[in-house]
Amino acid sequence: MKNIFIAGGAGYIGSACTEYMLNKGYQVTVFDSLVTGHEKAVDKRATFIRGDLADREKLIEIFRNGSFDAVMHFAAFSLVGESMKDPGKYFRNNLANAINLADAAVEGKVQAFVFSSTAATFGEPREIPISETAEQLPINPYGESTLCFEKVLKWYSRIYGLKYVALRYFNAAGATENFGEDHHPESHLIPILLQVAQGKREKAMIFGDDYDTPDGTCIRDYIHILDLAQAHEKALYAPRSGHYNLGTGAGLSVKEILDTARKVTGHPIPADVVPRRPGDPPRLIACSDLAKKELGWKPEFENAGAIIQSVWNWLQKHPDGYGDR
């Protein structure tokens, strides 16, 4: 497989994966609406098509005229809070528009469809760490819309023979030398903490310190975007269609991430404790044994300090992100 179609390749994880695949010798076409992505985040070696997954006819035409071996789909909305306020937006894009892409992939007879899924499909897990067989009971429209599309892929595999892999990320983090995180508004913990260190925010907020965890704050499994990119390449050659969890298996609390960010930046990073956010489970930690066994995947960034340092390095070179908002 050499010719890869990356939907959402101008976004945070998609841009890093595009760069990774190009460095591995693949030909990459990036398709992105730039609604949340950045044109400056598209690697100049890639072919760029500006378009929207809602335009089914355009997608079908692109795949009829192209010769894509595989699809990587990153073009989903992913803000939990927003999904609770505007669920229709999430079901239209994350489900209906994603089906358009699946239809185009079938039309183009691609050999593999790799879907950027999420741990949010599990909701509040009953077991920690979370395996692929854990019960999936999403507690927000973001997780529900993503799970719905996983089910679509399962049926497309049965009916059309579309080989697919859904990679359920836990907390994506980190940066490459050239590409990093620039969301508007920013909702992820690490970049928010570093914005305080940059002087762009007065302080950070800790949403709840009364959870049933050792220090009272939520615990998450942080996974570097380069490790996610590695998993996407390996998923192209998966032995079967199915689902894989991606995380380090090591959970870190909000306070532990805050302490590490203070050490990396040398900044005190003041933070206030505020009430919990609805829909935040106390713990989300992955069991990624299946991905390691069947895909041969091995995360290389298992240290929070290294992950945060990579983001801080990127921000030193790009203090205003991509500067296009």
Residue 18: is its pLDDT beyond 80? yes
User: Would you say 184 and 41 are in contact if contact means Cβ atoms under 8 Å apart?
Assistant: no
Domain that holds residue 181: 173-220+250-317
Per-residue model confidence as pLDDT tens digits over 291-314 = 999 999 999 998 899 999 999 999
> What's the pLDDT at 238?
98
| Per-residue pLDDT, 263 | 97
C-alpha span between 98 and 102 (Å, rounded): 6
In whole angstroms, give the CA distance from residue 220 to residue 257.
Answer: 10
CA–CA separation, 5 vs 158, rounded Å?
A: 22
148 and 277 in a common domain: no
Give pLDDT tens digits for 188-218: 999 999 999 999 999 999 999 999 999 999 9
Distance from the first to the final alpha carbon of the chain: 36
DSSP type of residue 108 = T
Phi, psi of 14 (to 5 degrees): -60, -40
* % of the chain surpassing 70 pLDDT: 100
Do 179 and 167 belong to one domain? Answer: no
What is the reported pLDDT for 202?
96
How many domains is the chain partitioned into structurally?
Answer: 2
Please tell me the predicted confidence (pLDDT) of residue 265: 98
Residue 239: is the preceding peptide bond cis (ω within 30°)? no
User: What pLDDT does residue 280 have?
Assistant: 80
Residue 165 pLDDT class (50, 70, 90 cuts): very high
160 carries an active-site annotation = no
**pLDDT at site 80:** 86
pLDDT tens digits, one per residue of 109-160: 999 999 999 999 998 888 999 999 999 999 999 999 999 999 999 999 999 9
Residues 113, 194 share a domain: no
Spatial separation of the C-alpha atoms in residues 187 and 201, rounded to whole Å:
13
- Angle, alpha carbons 103-77-318 (nearest 5°): 120
Residues 33 and 51 occupy one common structural domain: yes
Q: What is the mean pLDDT of residues 94-104?
A: 98
CATH number for the domain that contains residue 295: 3.90.25.10
159-197 in b/e form (b: 16+ CB < 10 A) is eeebbbbbbbbbbbbbbbeebbbbbeebebbbbbbbbbb
- 52 within a domain of the structure (yes/no): yes
258 and 241 housed in the same domain: no
For residue 119, give the CATH number of its domain.
3.40.50.720
What type of residue is 191?
A: P
Exactly one of 142, 169, 211, 244 is catalytic; name it: 142
pLDDT band at 14 (very low <50, low <70, confident <90, very high): very high
**Per-residue pLDDT band at 281 (split at 50, 70, 90):** confident
How much is the average pLDDT of 158-185? 95
Query: Are 172 and 310 contacting, i.e. CB atoms less than 8 angstroms apart?
Result: no
The closest of 248, 235, 244, 264 to 303, measured between CA atoms, is: 248
Is the pLDDT at 79 greater than 90, yes or no?
no
Q: What is the pLDDT of residues 50-70, one digit of tens each?
A: 999 999 999 999 999 989 999
Evaluate whether residue 259 is within a structural domain: yes
Scanning the structure block, which residue is given the tokens 């960034």?
Answer: 301
- Of residues 278 and 70, more confidence is placed in 70
Q: Is residue 323 over pLDDT 90?
A: no
pLDDT surpassing 90 at residue 278: no
Task: Give me the pLDDT at residue 279, please.
Answer: 72
CA distances from residue 317 to 40, 91, 160, 164, 286 in whole angstroms, order as listed: 14, 37, 46, 37, 32
Q: Average pLDDT, whole number, for the chain?
A: 95
Rounded to whole angstroms, the Cα distance separating 111 from 234 reads 14
pLDDT at 87: 97
Residue 295 identity (one-letter amino acid): L
201 and 61 within one domain: no
- What values do phi and psi take at 175, rounded to 5? -150, 160
The percent helix, strand, coil of the chain (3-state, each to 5) is: 40, 20, 40
Mean pLDDT of 239-252: 95
3-state secondary structure 269-289: CCEEEECCCCCCCCEECECCH
Q: CB of 304 within 8 A of CB of 239?
A: no
Q: Is residue 49 part of a domain?
A: yes
